[in-house]
Structure 1
């Protein structure tokens, strides 16, 4: 949109809730099965090159080789895309992400490429012609590499290269390599039990231990290193025997239906006379699968009793349309201090239906409010829609006009990015949208031109002005919608104009003795702030179970009515590999997308192991997880 304003310079249905019945359970089970197959194939390919999933890719050559084992045929451009000048290594999770982004080569694509140089259209190409093309165009091959291809007996046809046979042979060989790798993995019990990786990078969930220099104020204020109750040790169980694995800790927690439980979060009645500030925001997916959101600064002029809430919001244009994000869990972590000296205060633990809140007393000062969702119910959609919606059409006069559906979506987007909810867009609010959709900001000069050409009020863009601004982009480009589609997808819409990769939410801050001020600061991942805050909340509020007699390795499990989070704390001087098995869970969905996996925990650190929630919150659910130290 900033580019669009810049050009002005030069010119002057589903129900409102996600289904939770048998169909939903079957869909979730099918998705989980696909994920299991995908990660199994990833590991099989990875282990043909490396001895362990914990080994890192340390060169471009290794990256190319392991991608080829994964059924890809990466060009130098593709390799350079993922191995930049700043890259020193890639791990197994990175490899899985790349395979998600790069589709496997298909036989039809190979045939199509060869057909372009088949002048006789007989399925064959002269060796001399093929050699000339492969050694002079694109990513040039050497003569020896070309000869290795043309001299293959099965594709040589009287001095001609039979590319139909080559393509068939190539695909058969590629499929057989993967099949052999999977069979090798299945036959090796030791490797099979060590499942590494998830839908999220394990490294992104690491946090420094409170024993190190991070969060100095927190360690003094809260007293990390909770007292380990000896009766916790009694819950050790001997699980099924697994080679090189020793079952050290198991946790079994039976949970009731979440929809029947609400904790004592009373907002309307007790805060009716309090001062209130509010803002909206949104969770978005990045291309790498990470979740970003708005982060906020809260300012209190004096010490006061405070109530802070967060909840997903239903957009006014969504009547009769699917609103899957209303079942997404949300939370706010309250942090005080600077980036280098943070003090975790608390988080929104109480809830009333979809609203989560915290009540307490805060001193005067500035605080960070960092939104969070576990990712259990907010996952990147893998399948594209079958039908693409129309955005514009030509009316009776031959002029471009917005379709009713696209106009409604633009009004929804306006509602999402109108963070203060006043019905208008300020330059600051508009730039959050710009940075998300185009990566550029609209400067004061461009904003002035925008105000001259589109409807505004008090220097803020109206809904009609926002719609007209987007319509201008389509009409000025002669109906080219590629830029508009990029914008829509960055905001979370698919080609059917369904909002399935964004979760809009609202935040309210009530203060008894002063008027609070809340301001959106940035749009990014929670980063180290959030990872440390989650770990601290679990360590301070959860149950602790030691995995060794010296209590150097501990599993902390936090349980609320709606989710269970496990954190692994490693106090020792050496790294530890933990195998996690939650295959006995019932009616559960977890943030990693795997029921069995392994993680490496660095020395003097803590790691978010996983988050688990009920698949169907109207039914009971069972959390049953076993943790093993891998030798």
Structure 2
């Protein structure tokens, strides 16, 4: 998202307030602890408990306001889509982490770019042009609401210094009021909130909660989880467990020569190919395309998913080619909300994961999945930013060769049917990913008028020219171009590090399969349900000794292990997970020791585990303990 005065209507909020009256411990609160305290305070200003869900846009807007934000309608729509039914406390924390507050200095710096006279004021005309035309564009109503503020507007000018002071004061007061309410209510203060389990330092009073910094979005079933805490020594010494169960699985080295996936004779079989991409979000969650497939008659089917091969630096293996992929197949019964899990692609041949079998006539959903073990946030900083544009001897602006190569690969990724052209639907998946807005029919007609098209679809050259026009409209300013690149998973060196494009091939022997991408969704939705169903159906179940209502289900398919926690009790359960004795393993949560919280009568995916080195033996040893 481009940084500008319009980056949220709210531009920013006051930074987390380090309220001394909340610090009952001897040691000062860390930045993470202050963040979660603010999350708690804001959420409980609107709801009685953190286990209550946000069920409307109005509730989301109100909770964000109490957290010191003042989101625009566009920001609300980004998190509350037509498919959203509810958001929970963890979702709210994720939103606050994404919509980061801005300092007063940053606000003033953004406005000062428009202050041509350096007198602390901006003309209404210049302000309107900037807010409505650049970055995250504001609506005329939103701009007018700022221009009509009496205390900061006079004589056709906007006093941005007064506005920043007033805004920061208002935002800070909202958060301060929420924190004071939390402090005044002892029951709320001692309550455990969402999946952010309470833990205590050996030097702290055991009656005072300390918030865990981990966070992860939830499934529609109401399961709660977090990424846990790296402080293994603290967790191992102060936790008291009242039940536990251990699981040990030893796996042989996987050789690429030992193929389990065998391709049938596909002569005369009809094929439908679809492309898509896994995108890694700021909070570590994975978002991907999902597909709807129609089979007119019963048919033998051969289905595969694998990373999409794009241009690569010679001699350097692209990171996404080693990312594991999978595909869940669900049957649609009566409506899109009623989906029945059929199978998952658990056979493998090198980087290809597949399934073969018989499917009856009807509508099916194809839901791609990756464990997240090998698609992770890039930790190595890039010191030098790649150049995106340059000017020739005449001063004319052009795209660099490196940027054009990246755009060509992006074209391959968003060309979902692989026909070398972009339809309006395909282009809108790209627009929603990079800007949060769709291109309407009128805008698409203008696009076809000014850029090269075939069969009413945009060509690769037309896509390049469209981006060149944007660069020239911005007079070479690369910030908006970087927003697009970062949204598509590219780092500052123009390497694809936080996305994994994939290709799906569906072969049917007796009919023509029809497949279409219908939406993009996070792993916490239907995919979470499908994963839980698959593991419960085929995995090994172990109840915790001393607590038979907590069951650990573990499913191994040779190249990955997935565990699901089922809580049959009437109370939420906090489970301590310890993988320290595992060898040659990596899990999707990161640390070897973490904790998750499972709501009553629900299931949740606890972790995925894969080998660090597939050519070596690996052993997964995990102890699951119920925290008293």
TM-score normalised over the length of structure 2: 0.68
1:252 equivalent in structure 2: 248
Q: Secondary structure at the match of 2:44?
A: coil
Is the Cα contact below 8 Å between 2:243 and 2:545 reproduced in 1? no
Residue 416 of structure 1 aligns with which residue? 413
Shift of 1:56: 9.3
Deviation at 1:502, TM superposition (A): 1.2
For structure 1, which segment, 314-323 or 184-193, has the greater mean C-alpha deviation from structure 2 after superposition?
184-193
Partners of 1:56 and 1:599 lie apart in 2 by: 23
Q: Distance in 2 between matches of 1:481 and 1:564?
A: 43
**2 CA distance for matches of 1:95 and 1:310?**
33
Within 5 A, what are the aligned runs for 1:157-556? 185-187=201-203, 196=212, 198=214, 200-201=216-217, 203-204=218-219, 206=221, 243-260=239-256, 262-267=258-263, 269-316=264-311, 319-320=314-315, 323-337=318-332, 338-382=335-379, 384-548=381-545, 551-556=548-553
Secondary structure of the residue aligned to 1:302 is: coil
Residue 296 of structure 1 deviates from its aligned partner by 0.4
Query: How far does residue 623 in structure 1 lie from its aligned partner after superposition?
Result: 0.8
Shift in alpha-carbon separation, 1:192–1:377, aligned structure 2, 3 A: farther
CA RMSD of aligned residues (A): 4.2
Question: 1:6 — aligned with what?
Answer: none
* Preserved CA contact (<8 Å) 1:247 1:626: no
CA contact (8 A) 2:307 2:351 kept: yes
| Change over 3 Å in CA distance of 1:183–1:372 after alignment to 2 | closer
Task: Tell me by how many angstroms 1:626 deviates.
Answer: 0.4
Q: CA deviation at 1:273?
A: 3.4
Q: Which residue pairs with 1:137 in the alignment?
A: 165
- Per the alignment, residue 44 of structure 2 pairs with 58
Contact 1:135 1:141 in 2 (8 A): no
- Tell me: CA distance 1:602–1:183, structure 2 relative to 1, closer, same or farther (3 Å): closer
How many corresponding residue pairs?
Answer: 490
Q: For residue 573 of structure 1, report the CA deviation from its aligned partner.
A: 2.6
**Is the 8 Å Cα contact of residues 290 and 367 (structure 2) preserved in structure 1?**
yes
Query: Where in structure 2 are the equivalents of 1:586-625 lying within 5 Å?
Result: 586-625=583-622
Q: Considering only CA atoms, is the larger Rg found in Structure 1 or Structure 2?
A: 1
Contact 2:33–2:213 under 8 Å retained in 1 = no
Distance 1:42 1:313, change over 3 A: same
Q: Normalized per residue, which structure has more helix?
A: 1
Do 2:327 and 2:367's aligned partners in 1 also have CA atoms closer than 8 Å? yes
Residues in 1 aligned to 2:207 and 2:349: alpha-carbon distance in whole angstroms: 45
Can you list the C-alpha shifts for 1:139-178, whole angstroms capped at 9, x where unaligned? 5769xx9xxxxxxxxxxxxxxxxxxxxxxxxxxxxxxxxx
Give SS of 2:324's match: coil
Q: CA deviation at 1:54?
A: 10
Match runs of 1:78-117 below 5 Å: 78-80=68-70, 91=89, 98=96, 102=100
Q: Check 1:629–1:190 CA distance in 2 against 1; reply closer, same or farther (3 A cut).
A: farther
The answer to whether the 8 Å contact 1:97/1:288 transfers is no
Alignment partner, residue 123 of structure 2: none
Q: Cα gap change, 1:207/1:342 in structure 2, threshold over 3 Å: closer, same or farther?
A: farther
**In structure 2, the residue corresponding to 1:410 is in which secondary structure?**
helix
Q: Which has the higher contact order (CA 8 A, sep 6+)?
A: 1
In 1: Cα distance, 2:520 partner to 2:163 partner = 47
Identify if the C-alpha distance between structure 1 residues 84 and 243 changes in structure 2 by more than 3 Å, giving closer, same or farther: same
The answer as to whether partners of 1:59 and 1:89 remain within 8 angstroms in 2 is no
Look up the SS of the partner of 1:411 in the other structure.
helix
| 55 and 197 in structure 1: CA distance in 2 versus 1, 3 angstrom threshold | farther
Helix, strand or coil at the partner of 1:310? strand
Q: Do the aligned partners of 1:310 and 1:505 also contact (CA within 8 Å) in 2? A: yes
Secondary structure of the structure 2 residue equivalent to 1:265 = coil
Specify every segment of 5 or more residues in structure 1 that has no aligned partner in the other structure, as ranges: 1-39, 63-73, 114-132, 146-181, 210-238
Relative to 1, partners in 2 of residues 1:306 and 1:207: Cα closer, same or farther, differing over 3 Å?
farther
TM-score for both structures, normalised by structure 1? 0.68
Alpha-carbon displacement from aligned partner over 1:192-231 (angstroms, at most 9, x marks no partner):
9999563523x3485679xxxxxxxxxxxxxxxxxxxxxx
User: Secondary structure of 2:432's partner?
Assistant: helix
Which whole-Å deviations, capped at 9, do the CAs of 1:371-419 have from their partners, x for residues lacking one?
1111111123355421111111111111112111111111111111111
- Could you say what secondary structure the match of 1:58 adopts? helix
Distance 1:605 1:323, change over 3 A: same
Give per-residue Cα distances to partners, 1:291-326, cap 9 Å, x unaligned: 211110111011111111101112036545551111
Distance 1:434 1:45, change over 3 A: closer
User: In 2, Cα distance between the equivalents of 1:78 and 1:475?
Assistant: 37
1:58–1:89 Cα contact (<8 Å) kept:
no
TM-superposition CA deviations, 1:267-310 (whole Å, max 9, x none): 2x532332211110001133443221111011101111111110
After superposition, give the CA deviation of every residue in 1:582-611 in whole Å (9 maximum; x if it has no partner).
122222211112222222222211111111
After superposition, give the CA deviation of every residue in 1:545-603 in whole Å (9 maximum; x if it has no partner). Answer: 11146742210000122111100112223322221111222222111122222222222
Shift of 1:263: 4.7
Instruction: Tell me the equivalent position of 2:141.
Output: none
